[in-house]
Amino acid sequence: MGLTKSFKMAVSSIISNKVRSLLTMLGIIIGIAAVIILVSLMNGLTGEVTDMFSSFGTTSLTANIMTRAVTTKVEPDEMYDFIDKNPELYKGMTPRIVVSGELKLPTSGDDTITSTCNGVSEDFYNIQKLDVAFGRFIGYADCDKSLNTAVIGSYQAVYFFGSCEDAIGQTMRINGSPFTVIGVLEEDADSEQSSTDDVVYIPYSTAMQMNGTTVVGSYTVDAIDEEHIDAAKARLEAFMLEKIGDSDYFSVTSMKSMIDTMTDMLGKMEMFLVAIAAISLLVGGIGIMNIMLVSVSERTREIGIRKSLGAKHKHIMSQFVMESGVVSCIGGVIGIIIGSSFAMLAGKLLDMSVAPSVGAIMLAFSVSVGIGIVFGFLPARKAAKLNPIDALRSD
């Protein structure tokens, strides 16, 4: 008996026992769907996290200086001089000063919003790959003369001035001091509060005056490219150690290493979740084996007739292995359809870019076929070993 005949008999048996076949497939369907949904969502999440961190610049290095009893300064001019002396490793640098700012219009009364103001230099624009919709970004003269100029996000522009374009040249107060709006960034998150559109950038020298400090606690350095990240980090650490004298009081981190660490963690989490989902595949395989054993018991007389008419050991084996394989294949296809549909639906609900992984689908289908064959082998072997005379005597 050929494979075609075995396939037709398997399909006929499945159709004649629809409910039992569906219940047999249930474990496979749930397992395959769960694997596809989890893998697709984790891939989408990994992409979202990677894009978010990449927006901060994959070549950027952050040097943080801890406070200590006897403060050791690393002056901006010293850091600029270090960058200029190493053009083969670095292409820019900006001090980072954070100011908690209360923003309001000169005539707005009590109408205020609170935003984190970042004191930066002109290099910050290229390091963070920002886009200015109207006006310009902070320039060298703004930092050199400690001007009260500000670049704001679309949230502040719309909130105070009605539109991004109308904000240019207007005056707003930050912690009571008047600042002229010289630029508005491109809208990125529907101009919502606490989003990437809720930002304020001012000259770092102005921010230092507002904080009443002469010390810069954080620098962002832009490496020449990703290939030189490690070398750039090592040289920056050596410079910081020379200036501060103790590695316990500073740290240098690279955005690329943070992305790699986060991606590795998400990858391990994905494997863990897939392993949990795969348990249902094992349960589904056991279910197939149990149902096939019941099928062998019910069809003992049929097997005896076929063997007495000349059916060989391999023919009986192929019939039952084919039947279990077809059951698991159909369950796998249904699971793929359900899993892909739910993955895309979940992506829309979570506002996340989710696409069913082709690799996950192919792997899931292969696993479903393999489970059918493996767990169908024992019942098939039991059927093939039946004695024809004993099988004919069965009721």
Q: How many residues does the chain have?
A: 395
Domain containing 266 equals: 3-52+261-393
Distance (Å, rounded) from C-alpha 227 to C-alpha 207? Answer: 34
With CA atoms as reference, report the closest residue to 241 among 233, 229, 249.
249
Give the pLDDT of residue 263: 78
Between CA 367 and CA 365 the distance in angstroms is 5
Tell me, yes or no, whether 143 and 234 share the same domain. yes
Residues 162 and 78 placed together within one structural domain of the fold: yes
Residue the block writes with tokens 């989408």:
44
**How far apart are alpha carbons 167 and 63 in whole angstroms?**
34
Residues 226 and 135 in one domain: yes
Same domain, yes or no: 31 and 121: no
pLDDT at 2: 57
Give the pLDDT of residue 33: 86
Query: Residue 157: what pLDDT?
Result: 92
Cα dist. 313→303, 327, 389 in Å? 11, 22, 15
Q: How many domains does the chain have?
A: 2
Contact at 8 Å (CB) between 244 and 65? yes
Tell me, yes or no, whether 27 and 84 share the same domain: no
- What is the model's pLDDT at position 389? 62
Looking at the structure, tell me whether residues 137 and 243 fall in a common domain: yes
Q: Where are the beta strands (DSSP E) in the chain?
A: 60-65, 90-95, 97-104, 112-120, 132-135, 149-152, 171-174, 177-185, 200-203, 218-223, 250-254
Q: 291 and 181, same structural domain?
A: no
Handedness of CA 285, 286, 287, 292 (dihedral sign): positive
List all residues 6 or more positions away from 244 whose beta carbon is below 8 Å from its beta carbon.
65, 72, 74, 250
Q: Same structural domain for residues 269 and 176?
A: no
Mean pLDDT per block of 10 residues along the chain (395 residues) reads 65 74 81 84 78 69 74 83 93 92 79 89 90 94 94 92 92 92 89 84 94 88 88 92 85 81 79 76 76 70 67 70 80 87 85 76 79 75 67 56
**Beta strand pairing call for 97-104 and 112-120:** antiparallel
Q: What is the model's pLDDT at position 372?
A: 76
Domain match, 31 and 66 both: no
Residues 6 or more apart in contact with residue 196 via CB below 8 angstroms: 153, 188, 189
Does residue 65 share a domain with residue 21?
Answer: no
For residues 325-339, one letter each, b for 16 or more C-beta atoms within 10 angstroms of the residue's C-beta and e for the rest, the string is bbbbbbbbbbbbebb
pLDDT at position 69 is 40
Question: For the chain, how far is it from start to end, CA to CA, in angstroms?
Answer: 26
Which of 220, 255, 290 delimits the end of a domain?
255
- Asked if 332 contacts 362 with a C-beta cutoff of 8 angstroms, the reply is no
Domain final residue, candidates 255, 283, 298: 255
Domain boundary (223, 239, 255) is at: 255
Is there a contact between 38 and 270 (Cβ–Cβ < 8 Å)? yes
Same domain, yes or no, for 385 and 352?
A: yes
* Same domain, residue pair 225 and 341: no
